[in-house]
Amino acid sequence: MHDLQHNPESVTLRTTEFEASDLHFAYEGVAALRGLSLNVREGERIALLGANGSGKSTLLRMMDGLLFATSGTMKFRGQALTEAALGDDKFALGFHRQVGLVFQNPDVQLFNPTVFDEVAFGPLQMGWGRDEVLERVNKALEWIGASHLRNRAPYRLSGGEKKRVAIASVVVLEPDVLLLDEPTAALDPRSQSQVIELLGSWNDGRKTIITATHQLEVLGEICERAVVLEGGAIVADAAPQTILNDTALLQRANLVHIHRHTHDGVPHRHSSPYLHHEHQ
């Protein structure tokens, strides 16, 4: 592991939410996680950094009980997340009330005929009464600034609107933990800012938020702890500014690349963010 280590002193008084120990996972024989271990404490805002294929999405899905380790353990508040545990309706209902995942592509998540129905779907599955569902849905729509979209079909929304509705469909349950897979990917700058502001205002920052991203420019706004993944393993765990200052680490993890170009015929080399547009 890289020698950058997260300082646990600031979180010693918080309870452990997730405890991942020596996780291994493979898709059809192709390794996605290789001996990954990670502790997440209550109230932390963590960014999982890594290029495509580094294991970020796989780890989030394990935290949400959608995937299960080939070996190793993933625990939530001391309870192992296994197929047997999630197969128990009582446990699964309580777990998904406490932990919510927002997928990278909102089209995967949005399937109801209207925005209102989409946000109401989770509360209805929880068996809440009509008045409570109405109150929570209206509150969630107001929070994301989408009350005027309540009767619109989700497929007719813009990319930024879809993302906000997808977030609302999860936070309407007021989970203790919010998992986000690339929440600002493929959004225009204005929509990115709106999503970041929403996450920053969610429950006054008292909840645990784990965000998978490769966008370094939003790092300082979404987390206080950055965990870098490479090849399915953690290679660094530190404060975001410490990670951003380590160019060698970012290059190794394919989060930046050395960009070669010329000015007035003189060769230059500098680091550029992941997916940086080439100079013409």
pLDDT in tens, 78-100: 999 999 999 999 999 999 999 99
Calpha distance 50→151 (Å, rounded)? 38
At residue 161, the pLDDT reads 92
- Is the residue at 265 inside a domain? yes
At residue 215, the pLDDT reads 87
Between strands 99-102 and 177-181, the pairing is parallel
CA distances from 109 to 81, 165, 214, 216, 225 (A): 22, 10, 21, 25, 27
Q: Tens digits of per-residue pLDDT, 43-62? A: 999 999 999 899 999 999 99
At residue 260, the pLDDT reads 45
Q: Are 65 and 18 in contact (CB under 8 A)?
A: no
Burial zone of 250 (CB within 10 Å; 0-12 exposed, 13-18 middle, 19+ buried): buried
- Is the residue at 2 inside a domain? no
At residue 13, the pLDDT reads 57
At residue 3, the pLDDT reads 45
- Is the residue at 278 inside a domain? no
How confident is residue 264, by pLDDT bands cut at 50, 70 and 90? Answer: low
At residue 118, the pLDDT reads 96
Calpha distance 260→244 (Å, rounded)? 20
- How many C-beta neighbours within 10 Å does residue 115 have? 29
The tally of domains found in the chain comes to 1
CA distances from 232 to 55, 101, 146, 229 (A): 5, 20, 37, 6
278 pLDDT above the threshold of 50 = no
28 pLDDT above the threshold of 50 = yes
- 24: domain CATH number? 3.40.50.300
Mean pLDDT, the chain, rounded, equals 87
- Is the residue at 48 inside a domain? yes
8 pLDDT above the threshold of 50 = no
pTM of the model: 0.86
- Is the residue at 3 inside a domain? no
271 pLDDT above the threshold of 70 = no
Cα 16–chain centre separation = 18
Q: Are 85 and 48 in contact (CB under 8 A)?
A: no
Which domain does 207 fall in, by range? 8-273
- Is the residue at 126 inside a domain? yes
Amino acid at site 237: D
HSE value, Cβ hemisphere, 13 Å, CA-based, for 207: 21
5 pLDDT above the threshold of 70 = no
Top-confidence residue, 111 or 205: 111
At residue 12, the pLDDT reads 47
**Mean pLDDT over residues 248-254, rounded?**
93
- Is the residue at 279 inside a domain? no
Q: Tokens for 189? A: 């700058």
Calpha distance 112→122 (Å, rounded)? 11
- Is the residue at 58 inside a domain? yes
Calpha distance 277→280 (Å, rounded)? 9
Calpha distance 226→211 (Å, rounded)? 10
